[in-house]
Structure 1
């Protein structure tokens, strides 16, 4: 007869001890039940926040598209010479979207429409508002030059000279024009010597400028001797022809 296997007896202490896995499950269930409301609220918050983020994204995209469409319509009107329509459309866009790039640029282009229409006061105000926020060097140079033109047409020589000086301070497509504008405004303001110095400084900095002859004529009108040497082909003027001996 095979030997009988004896199972170990459980002590009273072991019988009273809870099973660890069962205890963990029970604790998790109790925690979930006790915190069910908080869990549900948290889940709802996550869903709501996600929905808001998605909604804001598509809302902003839609506003971008609307702003682009309005800007295009205004540019089209400006290019077609419909200045009044362009003024109205650009101003509306600038007022509706002051925080968007196209909304800020609308002030710059609105000024162009005002200038073309001879409305200098509104052109000035639009450019001043644009420059107060614009940081792009190219657009600042263009806007400052246009503002100087507006002041010049308004016969405000001092402010025109100041705007031209700011435009001339930074490299850009309008720098040469702005430098000459400074000299011209000084002459109109009665600062004869200042204008002469500005014209001579221009010739020194730009000896081969297309405007050289005009500058020399302006100096002559101011009674200044033409003591600026004409440009010559020196060692630093560029590539030289090869001489074969």
Structure 2
């Protein structure tokens, strides 16, 4: 005889109990409905912020393009010898775009326009302003050398020597010129022994410099004893290749 199967009857309470999956869906729907406004606002904020960021980015790129165009026009005027026009264009760019790289560089080239025009006081002020913010070693060296030239033309030997000395402290294309400038300013200011020492220091540091003959003549004018020592031999050079000045 087959086994008897007992079927359990569901109670009314069990029939009324919610299904777990149905309960989860209902809760999710309720949460969505209750927080719909907040979700819409949050999404709108994200969209607005994103639009602002994108807008600012393209606006800044547009200003970069305009600054580049203005800088190019000013450089073209300077190279063409139109110093007054270059001064106006560089000054406007420097004043209106002080936070941009080209705006800061405009002060350096503005000084060049002033120097070409013989306006030494404005050239000095422009270079001093540029150096107060510039950190690039190359442009600092160039600016310091130009500032020294300005002071030298203004017959301020002490400040010229100081600017040349700062330019000479950093390796770069202006270092040799700046070292000679220091010696020259010492001679002009009346420090004869200091100038002689500076010129001899230059010869020791740069025995093969193109300016060697000029330095020897400067030493002779200062009354320094003639230095008959030969130029040190370059690696691989024969004695016949070594000249004595």
TM (normalized to structure 2)?
Answer: 0.92
- 1:69-218 equivalences under 5 Å are 69-218=69-218
Q: Who is 1:226 aligned against?
A: 226
Unaligned runs of 5+ in 2: 239-245
Question: Matches of 1:240 and 1:76 in 2, distance apart?
Answer: 46
Q: How far apart are 1:135 and its partner, in Å?
A: 1.1
- 1:34-73 equivalences under 5 Å are 34-73=34-73
* SS of equivalent residue, structure 1 residue 133: coil
Are the aligned partners of 1:203 and 1:228 in contact in 2 as well (CA < 8 Å)? no
Q: Who is 1:238 aligned against?
A: 235
| Between 105-114 and 224-233, the greater mean CA deviation after superposition | 224-233
Instruction: Count the aligned residue pairs.
Output: 236
Are the aligned partners of 1:124 and 1:150 in contact in 2 as well (CA < 8 Å)? yes
Q: How far apart are 1:29 and its partner, in Å?
A: 1.6
Displacement over 3 Å in runs of 4+? 3-8
Query: Once the two structures are superposed, what CA deviation does each residue of 1:177-213 show, in whole Å capped at 9, x if it has no partner?
Result: 0000000001111111111100000011111111111
* SS of equivalent residue, structure 1 residue 224: coil
Question: Matches of 1:99 and 1:133 in 2, distance apart?
Answer: 10
CA RMSD for the aligned pairs? 1.7
Unaligned runs of 5+ in 1: none
Query: Once the two structures are superposed, what CA deviation does each residue of 1:26-74 show, in whole Å capped at 9, x if it has no partner?
Result: 1112112222221111011011011001101100110010000000000
Q: How far apart are 1:4 and its partner, in Å?
A: 11
